[in-house]
Structure 1
Amino acid sequence: MDRFTRFPDAPISHAGIISRTFLDMGIDRFIAACRYVHELPYGYNSDKDDLMILFKEKKGTCTTKHAVIGTLAVELGLPMTKTIGIYAMTEAIVTGTQAVLEAYRLPYLPMIHCFLTSGSVRVDLTEGNRNGKKRPIDDFLYTEDVRPAISAKAEYLLYRRALSEVILRRQELAGVTLKQVLQAREAGLKVLKSRI
C-alpha cells in the first residue's frame, strides 16, 4: 500500500457534511483530513452505517475510516474510490488464525479489508494502527470498487457473492462450503478483535 500523502491534495470547501465537519475542526486540506483519520485509533464502531460515528467515537476501522475520507473525496470531486478487498487471512497476518483454519479445515480464511484507490495509488488508512494485523495487506483474492458509505448489509452481501462466484471456485478451496467459510469468518473476527 502507498502513503496517503501520495493522494491528490485539495482545499476543503463547504461541499457537504464531511467537508463541513473537517472545516469546523480547523482542518482545511484533504491530506490533513487523511492524516487526522489515519492517526485516530483503530477500533470497532458501535454503528458502521452512521457516517459520523468516526467523529463521535474518535476511532474507526477500515470500513468507517475509508467511508469518511472516500465521502470527502466525492464531495471535493477528487478522483478516488473505496475498494473492498477479500484477502487470505493466515497465522502470518493475524496471530491465532491457525486454530481457526484447523477447526474449519481451511488453507486460509477469506476476510474483508478495504482501502482507497486513486489511479494506481492504493492507501490503507488503518495501516500502522493497532488493527490486529502483523503486516499490511497487499494481496487480494478479490476486489471491487464501491461507494464510500456502503452499508454493512451491502458489504456482507458483496462478500457472500464474491465467495460463491469467485473465491470458492479456487482449486485450493475445492470441497469447502459457503457455510463453512461463514462460520469460520465469525471465529476469525473474534481473533481479530482480540488482537486490537
Structure 2
Amino acid sequence: MQPYTVFPNPPIEDNGPVCRSFLSMGIHDFHQACGYVHELPYGYNSDRDDLMILFKEKMGSCTTKHAVIAALAAEMEIAVEKHIGVYPMTEALVTGANAILDRFKLPYLPMVHCFLVFEEHWIDLSEGNQNGKNGPIDDFLYTEKVIANIPGKDEYLLYRRALNEHVLTRPEFYDINIKTILKAREEGLSLLRANIQQ
C-alpha cells in the first residue's frame, strides 16, 4: 500500500453532499480530506450503509472510511475507486487467529478488507490505525472494484462468491466447505473487534 499523497490534490468545490461536509469543517482539498479520514479513530459504525455515518460518529472502519473518500472522489471527478479484497488472516497479522484456525482446521481465514485504487497505486486509509491488525495487509487472494458505498448485503454476497470461485478452488482448501469458513468468519470478526478495544 502507498500513502494517499499519490492522489491528485485538487481543491474541493461544492459538487455534492460529501464535498459540502468537508467544506463545512474547513477542509479544502482532497489530501486534507484523506488526512482527516485517516486520522479518525478506527471503529465499527452503527450503520455502515449510511454514507454520512463517518461524519456523525467521528470514526470509521475500512468500509466507511474508503466509502467516504471514494464518494468524494466521484463528486470531484477524480479517478479513485474503492476495491474489496479477500485476504488471508493469520496469527502474524491478527493476534489470536491461531485459535480460530485450529478450531476450524483452516490454513488461514479468508476475510474482507477494502482499500482505494488510483492508477497502479493501492492506498489503505485505515493502515496505521488501531484496527485490530498487527500491520498492513499486503497479500490478497482476490480483489474486485465496487461502488463507493456498496451495501453490506452486496459485500457479503461478493465475499461468498469470491470464496466459491477463488478460495475454495485452492489446494489448501481441499475438503473444506463454505459453511466452515462462514462460521469461522464470525469468530474472526469478533476477534478483530476485541483487538480494537485493547
**TM-score tier after normalising by the smaller chain length:** over 0.9
Q: Between Structure 1 and Structure 2, how many residues are aligned?
A: 196
Structure 2 alignment gaps of length 5 or more: none
Matches within 5 A, 1:4-15: 4-15=4-15
1:121: how far off? Answer: 1.0
Q: Provide the rounded CA distance (Å) in 2 between the counterparts of 1:102 and 1:160.
A: 22
1:160 matched to which residue of 2? 160
Shift of 1:159: 0.1
Runs of at least 4 residues off by over 6 Å: none
3-state SS, counterpart of residue 14 of structure 1: coil
User: Which amino acid in structure 2 is aligned with residue 128 of structure 1?
Assistant: G
Matches of 2:166 and 2:130, distance apart in 1: 30
Matching residue of 1:85: 85
Please say if 1:68 is aligned against 2:37: no
Shift of 1:87: 0.3
Q: What root-mean-square deviation, in Å, do the aligned CA atoms of Structure 1 and Structure 2 show?
A: 0.5
CA shift, 1:68, in A, is 0.1
Give the TM-score, by structure 2 length.
0.98
Identity %: 59
Most deviating of 28-37 and 2-11: 2-11
98-107 vs 4-13, which deviates more? Answer: 4-13
1:73-129: CA deviations, max 9, x gaps? 000000111010000000000000000000000000000000000011111000010
**Alpha-carbon distance in structure 1 between the residues aligned to 2:74 and 2:168:** 34
Task: For residue 166 of structure 1, report the CA deviation from its aligned partner.
Answer: 1.3
Q: What's the CA shift for 1:130? A: 0.2
1:14-33 aligned within 5 A: 14-33=14-33
Secondary structure of 2:11's counterpart equals coil
- SS for the counterpart of 2:27 is coil
Measure how far apart 1:71 and its partner are.
0.2
The residue aligned with 1:150 is 150
Q: Unaligned stretches of 5+ in structure 1?
A: none
Matched AA of 1:132: G
Query: TM-score, structure 1 length as denominator?
Result: 0.99
Query: Secondary structure at the residue paired with 1:144?
Result: strand
Query: How far, CA to CA, are the matches of 2:151 and 2:81 in structure 1?
Result: 15
Q: How does 1:1-196 map to 2 (within 5 A)?
A: 1-196=1-196
